[in-house]
Amino acid sequence: MRAENSGAGLLRFITAGSVDDGKSTLIGRLLHDSDGVYDDQLEWVKKASATAAGGLDLSYFTDGLRAEREQGITIDVAYRHFATKRRRFIIADTPGHEQYTRNMVTGASTADLAVLLIDARQGVLPQSRRHAYLSALVGIRRVAVAVNKMDLQGYRQDVFEQIRLRFLEWLAPLGFVEPCFIPVSALGGDCIVERSTRMEWYTGPTLLEYLETVTIPAPESNGGVRFPVQLVTRAGGDFRGYAGQLAAGALRVGDPLVALPSGLRTQISSIVTYDGDPAEAAAPAALTLCLAHEIDLSRGDMLADPAQPPAVGRDFRATLVSLAAQPLHCDTPYLLKHTTRLVCASLRSIAHRVDIETLQPVPSQELRLNDIAEVVIQTHQPLYFDTYQDNRVTGSFILIDMLSNQTIACGMIREDLTASGSQIPRMAKPVHSGLTVWLTGLSGAGKSTISNGVYQVLAARGWQLEMLDGDVVRQHLSKGLGFSREDRDENIRRIGFVAGLLTRNHVITIVAAISPYRETRAQVRASIGSFLEVYVNAPIGVCAERDPKGLYEKARTGQLRGMTGIDDPYEEPLSPDLECRTDLETLPESVAKVVAAIERVLEWREA
């Protein structure tokens, strides 16, 4: 392998294109012909491709996953490092299949340049346009379009020119800086590292020449210091530091900072890193800051430049890329992850989605897998953000399904829509009245599942919460109690006593307990006062089908005595405050109903 030039600049670039355009083979050729692989790697690839037709299979240098080799496609993002005498490189070989768009976005989010492949036989395909559009969205401004497999088109200039002119016209509105089109054959090695004797009509640079000489764009960070707090550290004694990664700007000991959300001012007393305590540091350094004043900061808060603060708000316009198999809708609660902060959010409106063929806006009421759209998002707690154009870190976010915990979309903030602008507020944690939310119903009806969903929504808003699950309580607070009527009543009274204490201290307490008897539930309600009864209703047959513990089967076969709904009665609420029919409605619908009911009660109380 050629020795690295440690003094050269670093270029991060991605390769992207449609399935079977030859991305992995092109990168393999680039690594192989530029001496960018170690001898042991070359030997492994030779052995792995010993049975491949045509000899050395260059795609093995990047397609390391067994599933990729078996299917002949790239699934994950494969990163490779190599260097020439002129520059160092990090390559991200991103998936071509539309199913793995999220992986492509991940690879592009940290890249300086994109190498887009087009099959000379196929021409410009929808996925080629999608990858070009996504590259522009995440801030890439340099692009090399490699028209691959020219050998299968007889190295014809007219084929290359037709593709170049067609794609150049489509790329024009995206804002790329001087797109470079290069005819190549990854399999034959033409115009990858060496010039091609079979395409003497092409006088531009080879792919490697372009990568070695292209100007690296300066990082776009037009704001001041941004330091999202990831962890509060205590190392004994009086040491208290705030750990994280500097998202923008440079810091020096003594510099002033403002803490968000409190708005308190302070100065840096010291900077701590793994390699020592430097007097200054610059993004994207990972470090720990010690401050001159005692300030209440926790994960998700931010330290920023008081002269150039970020926007602080709950409403913003964003470009959203949907990554979910299920459609995204307005007014559905999601979790939004922004820097180190996690809040509850929803789509307030969908302005339009983008037609990837024409780049024209198309009206839409929902977002499906891989849709790209302009949306307005509202969060339940303020974020401290910049536009994506000013800062890739503080201008980006992901949406997470609060029940499955899967990433369902990624977004780029385009405009602050907060009416009050970017003034730094002095905000306190949400203050609300206490409330006991009591979910009752048969075993298997869905009480605990709904409780967990409601808890996640309210926790993301920063509300004071506790959850008491009947099964968990029986293992601790009610340990030793049986299942006679007297013991069941005692169990519910104990849960009610704890819930009452929490409620009086302004805590929203979510209780999931079968609580089969009306009289006992009424007694608990009367003792607590601030009470919301939720009947989680499902037919006993549905509950038995869901039962993970097999309790209903044991009860029917006589192995379990006193099973509620089988040989012990369940007294349904006659007039519950809310009913969730879990056999007829989805879990998100049930969660949304309970959250809305809680909001109504608390708003009425506060009024």
The whole-angstrom separation of Cα 453 and Cα 341 is: 19
How would DSSP label each residue in 244-269?
EE--BSEEETT-EEEEETT--EEEEE
Active site residue 515: yes
The one catalytic residue in 346, 396, 443, 515 is 515
**DSSP state, 50?**
T
Nearest C-alpha neighbor of 447 from the set 515, 545, 536: 536
Beta bridge partners, 344, equal 335
Answer whether 343's CB lies under 8 Å from 461's CB. yes
Beta bridge partners, 291, equal 268
Answer whether 441's CB lies under 8 Å from 537's CB. yes
The whole-angstrom separation of Cα 95 and Cα 78 is: 9
The whole-angstrom separation of Cα 433 and Cα 536 is: 24
The whole-angstrom separation of Cα 224 and Cα 213 is: 31
Residues sharing a CB contact under 8 Å with residue 218, sequence separation 6 or more, in sequence order: none
Residues sharing a CB contact under 8 Å with residue 410, sequence separation 6 or more, in sequence order: 102, 105, 320, 321, 323, 396, 397, 398, 399
In the chain, the amino acid numbered 557 is: T
The verdict on whether omega for the bond into residue 284 sits within 30 degrees of 0, i.e. cis, is yes
Max distance between CA atoms of the chain, in angstroms, equals 94
Give the DSSP H or E segment for 6. none
Catalytic residues: 515
